[in-house]
Amino acid sequence: MRIGDRTSSGSQREYTFDLSKARTGKEITVLGHYIKIVEATDAAASVKIAVQHNIPSKFRTLNNDGMIYEGQGFTKFFITNEVQTGKELTVIISNGPDDYDVQNATQNVIQEIVKPVITQGGTEGTNAAVSVGTTATQILSADADRTGYALANMTAGKTVFLGTTSGVTATNGFPLNGGDKMSWNGRHALYGIVQAGTADIRKIDQGTA
């Protein structure tokens, strides 16, 4: 699997899958509302994708130009495919169809992801725990050099509501339920809030390598 970013009117995450390798419900953690197959080796190349839940009835078969839109958003998707020797297929994750314009998007260099290098306080990235309470708590500061981040909510039964400003509330925030994980490539600040008590959020903030 190769991963990269595209930009047009919005931000997207791009995944290219080598279909020579079979997958069964492989989980990809990423935040979005919209999935679209934008490139395929040929019209017969196909995968099955389900958003948010790895349940057989949720999987849809997609080939080139196929798409899924999830209005409430998702934090992960699952992919299944049979062996299709010599074929590749590229998936775009974004916040909606208006965020992706295949004709005008500029594609950054796509790099093979082997294993992230995470150091405590080093230049490659930082990891830390953040206690999120009932007032907006800053989880990430804005960083123009950030290449991505990942979050995990370690507190069972406690939903953290996320937003890009300190005005985030349980009403307008994006929910990250207890036990859930997410990743994204935004360079914005990020705040969280809970309705009662506190939640333990673990973060990886990936800086310029």
Instruction: Using CA atoms of 171, 172, 173, 178 in order, give the dihedral in degrees to the nearest 10.
Output: 20
Type of residue at 66: G
| Separation of alpha carbons 13 and 17, rounded Å | 13
> Does residue 120 lie in a domain region?
no
> Does residue 74 lie in a domain region?
yes
- Spatial neighbors of 42 by CB under 8 A, at least 6 apart, are 87
How far is the CA of 81 from the CAs of 51, 70, 78, 111, in angstroms? 15, 21, 10, 22
Residues 105 and 139 in one domain: no
Residues 47 and 149 in one domain: no
- Give the pLDDT confidence score for residue 207 in this predicted structure: 59
Type of residue at 49: I
Question: How many Cα neighbours within 13 Å face the side chain of 198?
Answer: 8
**pLDDT digit string (tens) for 134-171?**
999 999 998 877 778 889 999 999 999 999 999 999 99
Task: Give the end of a domain, one of 78, 112, 146.
Answer: 112
- Give the pLDDT confidence score for residue 22 in this predicted structure: 92
The whole-model pTM stands at: 0.47
- Give the pLDDT confidence score for residue 96 in this predicted structure: 59
Q: Taking the alpha carbons of 119, 207, 161, 67 in that order, is the dihedral positive or negative?
A: negative
Residues 139 and 189 in one domain: yes
- Give the pLDDT confidence score for residue 91 in this predicted structure: 87
Residues 132 and 186 in one domain: yes
Q: What is the CATH number of the domain that holds 34?
A: 2.60.120
- Enclosing domain of residue 11: 2-112
Spatial CA neighbour of 110 closest among 206, 204, 205, 17 = 17
> Does residue 119 lie in a domain region?
no
Name the 3-class secondary structure at 153: strand
Residues 78 and 129 in one domain: no
**Predicted confidence (pLDDT) at residue 1 exceeds the cutoff of 80:** no
- Give the pLDDT confidence score for residue 117 in this predicted structure: 37
**Predicted confidence (pLDDT) at residue 95 exceeds the cutoff of 60:** yes
How far is the CA of 66 from the CAs of 33, 39, 62, 133, in angstroms? 14, 10, 5, 41
**pLDDT digit string (tens) for 5-61?**
444 444 568 888 899 999 999 988 888 888 888 888 888 899 999 998 888 888 999
Residues 71 and 163 in one domain: no
Q: In total, how many domains does the chain have?
A: 2
Q: Do 136 and 191 touch, CB atoms closer than 8 A?
A: yes
